[in-house]
Amino acid sequence: MICAGIDAGSRTIKIVLIDGQSLSVIAKGLTDQGVAQDRLASELFERLLKDSAIRRKDVRRIVATGYGRNAVSIADTTITEITCQAVGVRRLTPDAMTIIDIGGEDSKLIRLDRSGKVRDFAMNDRCAAGTGRFLEVVARRLGVGIEQLGRMAEVSRSPAAISSMCVVFAETEIIGLLAAGAAGEDIVAGVQAAIASRVMSMIGRKADLPIIFTGGVAMISRMDRALGSAIGQKVTVAPDPQMTGALGAAILACLENCKLTIENCRLPE
């Protein structure tokens, strides 16, 4: 038996196929999000099936999650990304207590209890200044790829202070910094610190350890350090951080089909 999880995010669509017995990953993939997200999700799903020599009838259940989950017609049901992230992260890091998820359009703080269930969460979905969108704006202004930002931040000697709380005004602030001769590396480091400070505002005094970092922004080097510095606690990047939501959705598809329990969602020894 095979189950599938589809995470239709604001920037990318991710799909994970897992074996229903071992809960091990059989196949995974992602594609850029677009206007025709239902078609894009279906095409990615069919491509993964073909590449893995899996018959469509062998996929017993599909769960969709994420920003565009309600548009995925091939899904049997939908589950919120909060729940899916919790299950996916706990599958990979069984002792995780706090999840910081930063995607293209929002950032989330998810607190778990000892059993791995969601205790509470906070979300910033009204301002792009705490999301991957902010980094995209910076990359465009500096004329570099977003994947280069981490390497630039690593060589910064004096991170720029980004005070604007809105990405639109922050972009204007960045233009002013460039005009004043600020180094691109220092601007990137300043933006990473600004994103981290917005996440810190959701946490409050402290977060329960371990803190696991997920989402596309987690793939940019030094963002985990920026978060750790702002929070004053160690932040660990999840294995394959873009795929944790899709993984959780796939596991939940199997839970519904096999009557497993979340407590049994552990990696095989």
CB contact at 8 A, 257 and 172: no
pLDDT (tens digit per residue) in 182-206:
999 999 999 999 899 888 988 887 8
Residue reference for tokens 């972009």: 171
pLDDT at site 268? 35
Mean pLDDT of 243-247: 98
Of 78-92, 114-128, 252-266, minimum mean pLDDT range:
252-266
pTM of the predicted structure, to 2 decimals: 0.91
Q: Is the pLDDT of residue 267 over 50?
A: no
Instruction: Please give the single-letter amino acid code of residue 238.
Output: A
pLDDT at site 269? 31
pLDDT (tens digit per residue) in 64-95:
999 899 999 999 999 999 999 999 999 999 99
Residue 45, C-beta contacts closer than 8 angstroms, at least 6 positions apart? 4, 6, 15, 62, 74
Q: Is 126 or 39 the better-scoring residue by pLDDT?
A: 39
Cα–Cα distance for residue pair 109/121, rounded to 1 Å = 5
Name the average pLDDT for the chain.
Answer: 90
For the chain, which domains are there? 1-93+242-269 (3.30.420.40), 94-238 (3.30.420.40)
Exposure string for 203-223, b = 16+ CB within 10 A, e = fewer? beeebeebbbbbbbbbbbbbb
Above pLDDT 70, what percent of the chain? 92
Which among 96, 87, 161, 170 has a CA at the least distance from the CA of 131? 170
